[in-house]
């Protein structure tokens, strides 16, 4: 199979915008989707629950952060705070709104919108404050949101332990599960919901990137004065970026709590989570949606693989502290190395590989 573009001519402008222009790519994508939707749900519960679903959650958050930081250039350390809004929002909607009116997908969507609005509030200072100074705003969001949900126990339904396990009935969408005889709380069902959302939102993000809005975002990132001189409303672009980005993070938070962990727990949305997602973003490559997914997979899987190597080869020599520390070192080294050699991150590396594939067997 030769990976070539020859004979593949674009006949109109809309075709020029196709995401996958080569037939080979199109086929791979369709096969991939079939694989993801039909085959993966049949894999082991452990695989789904410990690997796939969490990556879907953090990957989506990374895509969200990408829209804000990678595309629009607004530095954010508040990602986990927005995820938190999503998680708590979903929980409270499911808990308090009568069953007939609310179901999990709807709750995820609405809490995402809530997170989006919270993002806009904390994004308002971005109109005046530029550059690194903006870090204050998102850090304020992170700490404030955390403190808010910690102080008002109502949000956790006065659960004294600080952690709420999510009731099984929350997983069913208006009795659909009973109708189809499917266990909606089971991991395959959870996985399919997460997958659908992630693929849908990634597609949306990719389109956004290539559209007028995406270009506006990037112009704000690159040269905001020139952008305003051309008629682009910089404040509007920034706030819209905050809204969309935090929407994504909110939904990701809901997915993380509901579909992965099964608990609503404040501890998992601390500032270190924000950093982890930032690492995923940087390693994956700013400005690239596929990069965000690659980065998420790498950062999430590395400690697991490392532990596995430890157990397998060194007979359990690596305890959790060692794994965590080595992981941090590796992330740090990767970030610095990538910045020096390939600032586009894994996405750029992948792009170069594809380039080489298209040329193969010629070197250039």
Q: Where in 183-242 is the site for another protein (CB under 8 A)? A: 204-205, 207-208, 211-216, 218-219, 221-223, 225-233, 240
What secondary structure does DSSP assign to 105-119, as a single string?
A: HHHHHHHHHHHHHHH
Rounded to a whole number of angstroms, the minimum distance from the CB of residue 26 to another protein is 16
Q: Does 354 bind another protein (CB under 8 A)?
A: no
CB within 8 Å of 61: residues ≥ 6 apart: 79, 83, 248, 249, 252, 253, 256, 277
CA pair distance 344, 282, nearest whole angstrom: 8
Q: Does 360 bind another protein (CB under 8 A)?
A: no
Stretch 295-334 residues interacting with another protein (CB under 8 A): 321-322, 324-334
> Per-residue x/- marks for another protein, 146-175, CB under 8 A?
xx--xxx-----------------------
> Alpha helix locations (H) across the chain?
13-16, 23-34, 45-47, 53-65, 79-96, 104-123, 135-151, 176-180, 187-209, 212-229, 234-254, 271-284, 289-313, 320-341, 345-359
Select the residue interacting with another protein from 128, 161, 313, 361 (CB under 8 A).
128
Stretch 62-91 residues interacting with another protein (CB under 8 A): 73, 75
Rounded to a whole number of angstroms, the minimum distance from the CB of residue 211 to another protein is 4
Rounded to a whole number of angstroms, the minimum distance from the CB of residue 275 to another protein is 7
Rounded to a whole number of angstroms, the minimum distance from the CB of residue 168 to another protein is 32
Residues 293 and 345: beta-carbon distance below 8 Å: no
Could you tell me the maximum CA-CA distance found in the chain, to the nearest angstrom? 66
Q: Does 262 bind another protein (CB under 8 A)?
A: no
Rounded to a whole number of angstroms, the minimum distance from the CB of residue 183 to another protein is 32
Stretch 2-21 residues interacting with another protein (CB under 8 A): 12-14, 16-17
Residues 53 and 190: beta-carbon distance below 8 Å: yes
Q: Does 109 bind another protein (CB under 8 A)?
A: no
Two tokens at 274? 């924000």
> Per-residue x/- marks for another protein, 263-292, CB under 8 A?
--------x---x--xx--x----x-----
Judged by CB under 8 A, the stretch of 85-93, 109-117, 144-152, 170-178 that binds another protein is: 144-152
Rounded to a whole number of angstroms, the minimum distance from the CB of residue 89 to another protein is 19
CA pair distance 42, 36, nearest whole angstrom: 10
CB-wise, 43 or 290, nearer to another protein?
290
Omega prior to 361 cis, within 30 of 0: yes
């Amino acid at each position: 199979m030769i990976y070539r573009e020859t004979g593949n001519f674009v006949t109109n402008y809309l075709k020029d915008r196709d995401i996958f222009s080569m037939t080979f790519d199109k086929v791979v994508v369709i096969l991939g989707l079939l694989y993801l939707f039909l085959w993966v749900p049949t894999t082991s519960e452990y695989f789904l629950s410990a690997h796939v679903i969490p990556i879907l959650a953090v990957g989506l958050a990374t895509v969200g952060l990408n829209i804000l930081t990678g595309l629009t250039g607004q530095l954010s350390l508040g990602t986990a705070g927005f995820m938190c809004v999503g998680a708590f929002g979903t929980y409270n909607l499911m808990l308090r709104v009568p069953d007939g009116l609310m179901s999990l997908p709807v709750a995820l969507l609405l809490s995402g919108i809530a997170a989006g609005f919270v993002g806009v509030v904390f994004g308002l200072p971005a109109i005046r404050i530029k550059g690194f100074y903006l870090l204050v705003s998102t850090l304020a969001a992170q700490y404030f949101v955390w403190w808010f949900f910690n102080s008002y126990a109502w949000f956790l339904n006065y659960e004294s332990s600080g952690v709420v396990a999510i009731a099984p009935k929350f997983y069913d969408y208006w009795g659909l599960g009973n109708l189809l005889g499917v266990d909606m709380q089971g991991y395959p069902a959870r996985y399919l919901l997460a997958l659908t959302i992630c693929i849908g939102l990634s597609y949306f993000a990719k389109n956004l990137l290539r559209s007028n809005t995406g270009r506006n975002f990037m112009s704000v990132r690159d040269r905001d004065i020139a952008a305003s001189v051309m008629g682009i409303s910089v404040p509007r672009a920034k706030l819209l970026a905050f809204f969309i980005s935090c929407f994504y993070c909110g939904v990701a938070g809901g997915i993380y709590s509901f579909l992965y962990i099964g608990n609503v727990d404040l501890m998992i949305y601390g500032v270190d989570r924000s950093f982890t997602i930032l690492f995923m973003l940087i390693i994956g490559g700013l400005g690239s949606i596929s990069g965000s997914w690659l980065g998420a997979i790498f950062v999430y899987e590395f400690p697991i693989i490392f532990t596995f190597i430890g157990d397998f080869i060194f007979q359990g020599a690596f305890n959790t502290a060692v794994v965590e520390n080595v992981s941090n070192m590796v992330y740090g080294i990767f970030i610095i190395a990538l910045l020096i050699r390939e600032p586009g991150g894994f996405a750029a590396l992948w792009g170069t590989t594809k380039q080489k594939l298209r040329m193969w067997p010629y070197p250039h």
